[in-house]
């Protein structure tokens, strides 16, 4: 995610996570919606390190925005309790995600590009989206909303909201620069876990209606591709040894494009769900 520069010689547009000038020396928790959860810094796990509550409060702004969106998305037949249930399920998914990503980190190669690909695509995107799919599937079976496109989409989004909320709070709490990290986390409003789950929920709803295999594949593949694209391009950008170089600029532009495409895809799914509801 974009963040305020923490110093050092950089191109004018070059932003950092706030953990260090380049890379993640202070903490391995990234600013994007996915990525590694393990913290290696001296203050990792010390939730009393950041004295001000302002960064934590700011990190919860994406949650507030998405809760309001959820209230707009949901059908009237879906009680608000399912927002709470979905958020709890999303937060609980973080535990197996942490274990899976830790194991992936142990086998990641040392080469920069290969390491970032394994950690961010296999470790973050694949593990997180698969486990969130399991949570969404469990909630759908429990909720009894198999025939409602907007109901399926809303339940899926609630899981993403819960996952994003815990991830944002953990990232800010463990960051060396909590203020800049909290500002950077605002990008999760556009291209965060709720966006991935809106797309997943839309595809699942279409699969429920048509039973076409392509839709169930898309429910996993599209979020994984968008998630992996965003996390991988951001990680490569952060690890770039020559800030301001042509390669650095290309990778940065790729990351910005991933944010735009994710946001537009989620918005398209929301619009199509509303249109479907109007025609029903």
Q: Are 115 and 108 in contact (CB under 8 A)?
A: yes
Which segment of 134-138, 200-204, 271-275 scores lowest on mean pLDDT? 271-275
In this prediction, residues 86-100 reach a mean pLDDT of 96
Helix (H, G, I), strand (E, B) or coil at 30: coil
Six token digits for residue 135: 């949570």
What pLDDT, in 10s, does the model give residues 57-70? Answer: 999 999 999 999 99
pLDDT class of 146 with cuts at 50, 70, 90: low
Residue scoring higher pLDDT (259 or 41): 259
Residue 108 pLDDT > 80: yes
What pLDDT, in 10s, does the model give residues 245-254? Answer: 898 999 999 9
- Helices then strands, counting H and E runs in the chain, come out as 11, 0
Structure confidence at residue 90 (pLDDT): 97
pLDDT class of 277 with cuts at 50, 70, 90: low
In this prediction, residues 163-180 reach a mean pLDDT of 93
Residue 276 pLDDT > 80: no
Which segment of 101-115, 133-147, 219-233, 262-276 scores lowest on mean pLDDT? 133-147
Sign of CA dihedral 48, 52, 54, 55: negative
Q: Are 17 and 24 in contact (CB under 8 A)?
A: yes
In this prediction, residues 19-33 reach a mean pLDDT of 37
CA-to-CA distance for 182 and 61, rounded, in angstroms? 9
pLDDT class of 147 with cuts at 50, 70, 90: low
Q: What share of the chain is helix, strand, coil (3-state, %, to 5)?
A: 70, 0, 30
The tally of CA atoms less than 13 A away on the side-chain side of residue 18 is: 24
Sign of CA dihedral 92, 94, 97, 99: negative
Q: What is the dihedral of CA 246, 247, 252, 256, to 10 degrees?
A: 90
Q: Which residue has the tokens 């537009």?
A: 264
pTM attached to this predicted model = 0.81
Nearest by Cα to 270 from 137, 148, 154, 161? 154
pLDDT class of 175 with cuts at 50, 70, 90: confident
CA-to-CA distance for 76 and 64, rounded, in angstroms? 20
In this prediction, residues 173-200 reach a mean pLDDT of 92
- Under DSSP, the state recorded for 5 is -
DSSP 58-94: HHTHHHHHHHHHHHHHS-TTS-THHHHHHHHHHHHHH
CA-to-CA distance for 135 and 233, rounded, in angstroms? 27
In this prediction, residues 113-137 reach a mean pLDDT of 95
pLDDT class of 148 with cuts at 50, 70, 90: confident
Q: Which residue has the tokens 């809106």?
A: 198
Nearest by Cα to 271 from 65, 40, 69, 28? 69
Structure confidence at residue 149 (pLDDT): 87
Q: Are 120 and 109 in contact (CB under 8 A)?
A: no
pLDDT class of 145 with cuts at 50, 70, 90: low
Residues of the chain above pLDDT 70, percent:
79
Q: Are 198 and 268 in contact (CB under 8 A)?
A: no
The tally of CA atoms less than 13 A away on the side-chain side of residue 241 is: 3
Six token digits for residue 202: 């839309």
Structure confidence at residue 243 (pLDDT): 85
Q: Which residue has the tokens 């556009």?
A: 190
pLDDT class of 274 with cuts at 50, 70, 90: confident
Residue scoring higher pLDDT (49 or 185): 185
What pLDDT, in 10s, does the model give residues 190-244? Answer: 999 999 999 999 999 999 888 999 999 999 999 999 999 999 999 999 888 888 8
């Amino acid at each position: 995610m974009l963040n305020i520069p923490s110093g050092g010689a950089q191109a004018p547009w070059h932003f950092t996570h706030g953990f260090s000038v380049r890379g993640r020396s202070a903490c391995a928790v990234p600013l994007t919606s996915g990525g590694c959860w393990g913290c290696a810094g001296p203050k990792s796990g010390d939730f009393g390190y950041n004295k001000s509550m302002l960064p934590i409060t700011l990190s919860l702004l994406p949650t507030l925005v998405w809760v309001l969106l959820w209230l707009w998305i949901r059908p009237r037949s879906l009680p608000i309790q399912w927002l709470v249930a979905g958020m709890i399920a999303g937060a609980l998914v973080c535990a197996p995600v942490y274990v899976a990503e830790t194991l992936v980190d142990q086998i990641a190669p040392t080469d920069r590009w290969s390491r970032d690909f394994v950690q961010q695509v296999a470790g973050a995107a694949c593990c997180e989206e698969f486990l969130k799919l399991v949570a969404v599937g469990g909630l759908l079976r429990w909720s009894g909303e198999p025939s409602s496109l907007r109901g399926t989409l809303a339940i899926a989004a609630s899981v993403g909201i819960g996952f994003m909320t815990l991830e944002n709070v953990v990232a800010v709490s463990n960051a060396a620069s909590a203020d800049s990290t909290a500002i950077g986390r605002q990008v999760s409003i556009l291209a965060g876990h709720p966006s991935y789950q809106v797309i997943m929920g839309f595809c699942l709803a279409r699969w429920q209606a048509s039973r076409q295999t392509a839709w169930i594949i898309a429910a996993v593949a599209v979020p994984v591709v968008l998630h992996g694209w965003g996390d991988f391009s951001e990680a490569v950008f952060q690890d770039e040894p020559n800030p301001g170089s042509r390669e650095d600029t290309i990778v940065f532009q790729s990351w910005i494009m991933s944010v735009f495409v994710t946001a537009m895809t989620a918005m398209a799914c929301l619009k199509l769900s509303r249109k479907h509801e109007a025609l029903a």
